[in-house]
Structure 1
Amino acid sequence: MSQFVVSGRFQDRIGHRDFEKAIDAPNENVAREHVLSQLGSEHGLKRTQVDIAEVTAE
């Protein structure tokens, strides 16, 4: 598995917050899905509230 760094921002009560998460995944699409799922679980967000700006492989 490769490691991907997913960065972007999400809508918070106060405004927008930036994030950057490192994820082990087989490809870029799976990394995106893991981050969306993780942020939704941790912060109670819907997918439309998360804006993924960049996914890079390390």
Structure 2
Amino acid sequence: MSQFTVRGKYKTRDGMSPFETTIEAENEDVAREHTFATFGSKHNLKRTQIEVEEVEAQ
């Protein structure tokens, strides 16, 4: 498995907040999906409220 850095924004009461997280995944698509699942459960957000701007392999 490889490590990926995922950058983007998620919706808050005050607008959009940036995020950057490192995820261990098989490929970029799995890293993106894992980000949606993690932020969705942690911040009680739907996928439409999360914008992934960049997925970068490390």
TM-score range, shorter chain: over 0.9
Deviation at residue 13 of structure 1 after TM alignment: 1.0
Question: Gapped runs of 5+ residues in structure 1?
Answer: none
1:16 aligns with 2:12: no
Aligned length: 58
Q: Which residue of 1 aligns with 2:34?
A: 34
Kindly, what percent of the aligned residue pairs are identical?
Answer: 52
Question: Gapped runs of 5+ residues in structure 2?
Answer: none
Residue identity opposite 2:15 in structure 1: G
Residue identity opposite 2:54 in structure 1: E
Say what the alpha-carbon RMSD is for the aligned residues. Answer: 0.4
| Residue aligned with 1:4, SS | strand
Normalised TM-score (structure 1): 0.98
Q: Which runs of 4+ in 1 moved over 6 A?
A: none
Tell me the distance in 1 between the aligned counterparts of 2:39 and 2:13: 14
